Amino acid sequence: MTSNNAKTYQNYINGSFEAARELIDVRNPANGEILSRVPESSPEDVESALQAARRAQKDWARRPAVERAAYLHRLAEKIRQEAKLLAHTITAEQGKTSALAETEVNFTADYLDYMAEWARRIEGEIIESDRRKESIFLYRKPLGVIAGILPWNFPFFLIARKMAPALVTGNTIVIKPSEETPNNCFEFARLLDQTGLPPGVFNVVSGGGVSTGSALTESSLVDMISFTGSVATGSSIMRNAANNITKVNLELGGKAPAIVLNDADIDLAVNSIRASRIINTGQVCNCAERVYVQRQVAEEFSAKIAQAMSTTTYGDPLAQPDVEMGPLINQKGLDKVAQMVQTAIQDGADLLTGGQVADLGAGFHYQPTVLANCRSDMSIMRDEIFGPVLPIQIIDDLDEAISLANESDYGLTSSIYTQSLEKAMHACRELDFGETYINRENFEAMQGFHAGTRKSGIGGADGKHGLYEYTRTQVAYIQT
Ligand code: NAD
């Protein structure tokens, strides 16, 4: 199905929109409609964007940080003015609800303002010397040219999460959006272009991972690859980066454990875990992917969450604006979720609700699903599901839960529900994760630091520590 409104987008290179030779279709995952055609960028397109970023970088870095930050503030204002249109673009290509898309757009504007405000707070150090009449200055300098490679689940916000700290610290950037959700990125570029940003500071090349993505990660013109996506892609990017000893910043997958103890407020746990499992149709790196519930409250918790999940409404979020959940991103994602649930049931899990592909005539919809009596050897408790499916395992005490939670390839986020400060603090000490939420689920704050241990990534984003990921140091020894 092709919409008459299908747009053709162009790459944004060196401050202008440039036609590409080859185009790919972008579809609405809720109904299969073709929304747009976007460049399948060639290695030459990528090279041209990187060269533009390289040419622009020195002059950009020489400007005062407040001058660089002013462009981010201007962009934030434009994003707020066009919030409805941007949210519609995101919902159409990604399938999240309009309410969540609007939240993403407004959060992005706030994030740009927040990062811009760091302009007057970027600080070096003065270090005591061993020598007489010597001063040691530690400067923070930009890395140079950043390659930002994005996933599709929060496509608009993730542009800002990479470009805002990059630009305010004096770097230039080339963004490759996911081939599933490039439209919002071109709209972002359109607005940024209206701010009068100097050519080459921000560039967009769309295209597939292996074709366009590899051309970025193989290039010696890149000083850091900032990637958000799957572990498999992260690993392949590291291999390419190794050839040029390019720095990597990797935000990868998650398998967040939620621990529910006997003394928890069960209704609070049910409401927040359910919300985290259906938001963005379960396609969030930091939402509860597995529950460890203590035996005494297991039956109550399981019954209540199964009931709550079964009432979740879903469908095409543009046609039915009130639904709580849209489709999964594509057929591959739907097949993966369906297969994982089937395997879990074959392996002995009890299906409490859902468990089927939802036949709505079109789109990649899956029923909200709860699986009880899962075991730690099951793939559903070990591998990222990325869908509205909640597997539950019974545990006898907190230490068992902590040790099962830590026995994972992933170490992004974790949560615990308890009324006991002592147990909460014990969990914070013992859980080997980048983030731990007490009596709540995601999301993280922009002033925090979003980072994972184990295969969930290297480095992180947000806050002061996220800002400094985009800098290197230079130490000057000054004899006078
Ligand atoms: P993905 O790894 O399939 O793709 C991400 C991006 O990488 C896309 O732009 C893709 O085109 C590109 N890519 C693919 N192969 C490449 C290659 N060989 N070289 C260079 N680029 C390549 O991930 P996805 O399906 O888009 O996103 C879902 C994943 O992202 C999940 O695992 C999720 O947990 C993770 N994620 C993590 C965070 C976080 O902050 N840790 C946030 C959002 C999503």
Q: Quick check: CB of 442 below 6 Å from ligand 1?
A: no
234, 283: one domain: no
Cα of 395 from ligand 1 centre, angstroms: 33
337, 380: one domain: yes
Decide if 216 is inside a domain. yes
Cα of 153 from ligand 1 centre, angstroms: 9
Task: Please spell the DSSP secondary structure of 208-258, one letter per residue.
Answer: -IIIIIHHHHT-TT-SEEEEES-HHHHHHHHHHHHHHT-EEEEE----EEE
Q: Quick check: CB of 384 below 6 Å from ligand 1?
A: yes
Cα of 181 from ligand 1 centre, angstroms: 12
CATH of the domain at 188: 3.40.605.10
Residue nearest to atom 23 of ligand 1 (CA): 229
The region, left, alpha or beta by phi > 0 then psi within -120 to 50, assigned to residue 377 is alpha
223, 286: one domain: no
Q: Quick check: CB of 455 below 6 Å from ligand 1?
A: no
Atom of ligand 1 minimally distant from the CA of 178: 9
Q: Quick check: CB of 142 below 6 Å from ligand 1?
A: no
CATH of the domain at 399: 3.40.309.10
Task: Calculate the alpha carbon distances from 49 to 95, 145, 215, 419, 431 in Å.
Answer: 30, 10, 11, 53, 42
340, 428: one domain: yes
Q: What is the pLDDT of residue 3?
A: 54
Single-letter code of the amino acid located at 245: I
Q: Quick check: CB of 162 below 6 Å from ligand 1?
A: no
226, 270: one domain: no
Q: What is the pLDDT of residue 1?
A: 52
318, 383: one domain: yes
Residue nearest to atom 22 of ligand 1 (CA): 209
Q: Which two tokens stand for residue 105?
A: 């757009």
Selected catalytic residue, list 104, 179, 285, 441: 285
Catalytic annotation present for 374: no
Q: Phi, psi at residue 320, to the nearest 5°? A: -125, 85
As a whole number of angstroms, the distance between CA 296 and CA 309 comes to: 21
Nearest CA among 269, 288, 268, 265 for reference residue 278 = 288
Q: Quick check: CB of 230 below 6 Å from ligand 1?
A: yes
Catalytic annotation present for 285: yes
As a whole number of angstroms, the distance between CA 438 and CA 434 comes to: 14
Decide if 397 is inside a domain. yes
Number of domains in the chain: 2
Predicted structure pTM score: 0.97
Decide if 450 is inside a domain. no
Q: What is the pLDDT of residue 313?
A: 97
Residue nearest to atom 28 of ligand 1 (CA): 229
Q: Quick check: CB of 202 below 6 Å from ligand 1?
A: no
205, 296: one domain: no
230, 245: one domain: yes
Decide if 451 is inside a domain. no
Q: What is the pLDDT of residue 19?
A: 87
Q: Quick check: CB of 40 below 6 Å from ligand 1?
A: no
Residue nearest to atom 42 of ligand 1 (CA): 285
Q: Phi, psi at residue 61, to the nearest 5°? A: -70, -25
Atom of ligand 1 minimally distant from the CA of 285: 34
262, 223: one domain: no
Selected catalytic residue, list 104, 251, 289, 435: 251
Sign of CA dihedral 429, 431, 437, 442: positive
Atom of ligand 1 minimally distant from the CA of 452: 41
76, 182: one domain: yes
pLDDT tens over the chain, length 480 residues = 555 578 999 999 999 999 888 999 999 999 999 999 999 999 999 999 999 999 999 999 999 999 999 999 999 999 999 999 999 999 999 999 999 999 999 999 999 999 999 999 999 999 999 999 999 999 999 999 999 999 999 999 999 999 999 999 999 999 999 999 999 999 999 999 999 999 999 999 999 999 999 999 999 999 999 999 999 999 999 999 999 999 999 999 999 999 999 999 999 999 999 999 999 999 999 999 999 999 999 999 999 999 999 999 999 999 999 999 999 999 999 999 999 999 999 999 999 999 999 989 999 999 999 999 999 999 999 999 999 999 999 999 999 999 999 999 999 999 999 999 999 999 999 999 999 999 998 889 999 999 999 999 999 999 999 999 999 999 999 999
Q: Quick check: CB of 229 below 6 Å from ligand 1?
A: yes
233, 262: one domain: no
Q: Probe ligand 1: pick from 162, 280, 285, 290, max atoms within 8 Å of CB?
A: 285
Range of the domain at 473: 2-252+456-479
> In sequence order, what are the beta bridge partners of 475?
138
Q: Quick check: CB of 211 below 6 Å from ligand 1?
A: no
Q: Quick check: CB of 217 below 6 Å from ligand 1?
A: yes
Question: Mind listing the pLDDT tens digit for each residue in 136-174?
Answer: 999 999 999 999 999 999 999 999 999 999 999 999 999
Q: Phi, psi at residue 479, to the nearest 5°? A: -95, 125
Cα of 207 from ligand 1 centre, angstroms: 13
Decide if 213 is inside a domain. yes
Cα of 208 from ligand 1 centre, angstroms: 11
204, 231: one domain: yes
As a whole number of angstroms, the distance between CA 301 and CA 267 comes to: 8
Atom of ligand 1 minimally distant from the CA of 412: 41
User: What is the distance between the terminal CA atoms of the chain, rounded to a whole angstrom?
Assistant: 73
Residue nearest to atom 16 of ligand 1 (CA): 209
Q: Quick check: CB of 153 below 6 Å from ligand 1?
A: yes
Cα of 64 from ligand 1 centre, angstroms: 34
Q: Quick check: CB of 236 below 6 Å from ligand 1?
A: yes
Cα of 228 from ligand 1 centre, angstroms: 5
